[in-house]
Amino acid sequence: MRLDADILHRLLPPYSRLWRAVLSAIVALALVVGDYLLDNYPYPVLDDVDSLAFIELMSERVAHQTDDSVLYLNVAYDKQLVPVFDDFGDTMGSAVITDRAVLRHLLEVAENADYRFLVLDVRFDDGMYTDSDSALWAVMARLPRFAYSAHSDNGNAADSSTLHAASISDYGATLSTGFTRWQYLQPAGESMPLTIYRSIDGGDIRRHGCFYTDRGRLCRNTLFIPLPSDVLLPERADGQVRYPLLGSQVMRWNSDDELTGMMRDRIVVVGDCDGDTHDTYIGSVPGPVLISCAYDQLRQGAHLLNWWFVSFIFIVYGLICYRVLSASPLWERFGWVRRHPALGTLLSFFGWEFLLTLLSIAMYLIMAESFITFLPAVTFTALGWLNSDLLKNNTGIKKQQKLKSNTYATV
């Protein structure tokens, strides 16, 4: 149904600069808020995370950063067999789990270590029980500055006394790039990076409807996580093994006192760095490393809204919108485009999408900030089409009014 020209004339008076300015500001504000809301969704929606991954990979912004504050302990080969039973209590066979006696010994050593935080990225699934469980649950229950991984879709076999230390380690992924984003405050509870952030840095992300704050500052709850390319290397820059094996290397060649010294003032991340790997834009990265990198973004304040960036993008949106409402679209200057309105709309969209994509690349490289380009591109295209239609209707009205005045003058 075609809108009446008078209604369009009232909504978008093309001769009024004030109305164009006010409407441009409203549209720009709506785009900024819409970008924030979509950016907080745990999965990419109208997003360009694939582009961000490519830019990050090419720029190597966080490549080759040696962080001595994190100690990874690899339990990839610390395994044991446990019997698995069906619902009737009959034995179904055996399953391989992380050796809980090794974990218990490590945590007992950690009780005397002055570590910053200890992450146990090991799953404790229902039905997997050993003789070491009760002693392991006891030390987990009394360990300070400690959390172990839980998952929203699996039962937790750990004792109820340890539930206060359980933290979610789930994340979202895309089919093309695998892991890209981390949602810190999840429906199932607080995620592991947020638990570390709260313990070490005093941060506390809270939800207020569709918005999130960290100690009173507006923030994002979901972030694209840049990954250092050197996490794929087996050795660090100083020649040390990046992910040393806990039982066969660390515990065999170091005494308990030496292991205590290794933990001092470091974030200790224990997990399977060989089997628990996840597809990312740089390759297959261990899950414990993803937790560490997601926390590092919180520590750097990447989740906090950069108001300089928000102000800049608001002004850019406002200026573009004002320009779109002030004149007919660029492509309509060509006669062959005017004869095919659908083609003009398509070209207009790709024109704005291309320019906004270049701007988003520049903003990411300069300020490490990104925005969703699809949303403003569609908005500006729709406004350009609407304004073009309004101008045509307004021109027709003026011609009719002029014709009537000439008729009256003749009479």
- The tens-digit pLDDT sequence of the chain (411 residues) is 444 555 545 555 555 778 888 889 999 999 999 999 988 877 666 655 666 776 776 666 555 555 678 999 999 999 988 877 776 766 777 878 888 999 999 999 999 999 999 999 988 877 677 788 889 999 999 999 999 998 766 656 666 778 888 898 887 655 555 677 888 998 888 999 999 999 999 999 999 999 999 999 999 998 888 888 888 888 887 788 999 999 989 999 999 999 999 999 999 999 999 988 988 888 899 999 999 999 999 999 999 999 999 999 999 999 888 878 876 555 555 554 555 566 555 555 567 777 888 888 888 888 888 888 888 988 887 887 776 655 555 544 444 444 445 444 444
Q: With beta carbons less than 8 A apart as the criterion, state whether 246 and 288 touch.
A: no
* Nearest residue to 349 (alpha-carbon basis) of 325, 322, 380, 308: 380
Residue 163 C-alpha from the chain's centroid: 27
123 φ/ψ sector (left φ>0, alpha ψ -120 to 50, else beta): beta
Q: At 171, list the tokens.
A: 């994340």
Per-residue CA distances from 19 to 12, 29, 322, 378, 394 (Å): 7, 15, 10, 21, 16
Q: At 51, list the tokens.
A: 């582009």
**Can you tell me the distance from the alpha carbon of 53 to that of 282, in angstroms, rounded to the nearest whole number?**
8
Q: At 224, list the tokens.
A: 């694209």
Residue entry with tokens 């102000």: 311
Give pLDDT, residue 73: 96
Q: What is the DSSP letter of 246?
A: I
Residues 6 or more apart whose CB falls under 8 angstroms from that of 12 comprise 19, 20, 23, 325, 386, 387, 390
DSSP string, 88-111: TS-EEEEEEEE-HHHHHHHHHHHT
Residue 160 C-alpha from the chain's centroid: 31
Q: What is the pTM of this model?
A: 0.82
Residue entry with tokens 């949303």: 375
Give pLDDT, residue 411: 45
Q: At 379, list the tokens.
A: 């908005």
Dihedral sign for Cα 146, 151, 152, 156, please: negative
Give pLDDT, residue 225: 87
**Can you tell me the distance from the alpha carbon of 255 to that of 100, in angstroms, rounded to the nearest whole number?**
19
Per-residue CA distances from 28 to 93, 110, 209, 224 (Å): 61, 53, 22, 24
**Can you tell me the distance from the alpha carbon of 411 to that of 405, in angstroms, rounded to the nearest whole number?**
10
Burial annotation 5-37 (CB, 10 A radius, 16+ → b, else e) = eeebeeebbbeeeeebeebbbebbeebbeebbe
**Can you tell me the distance from the alpha carbon of 404 to that of 249, in angstroms, rounded to the nearest whole number?**
95
Q: What is the DSSP letter of 229?
A: G
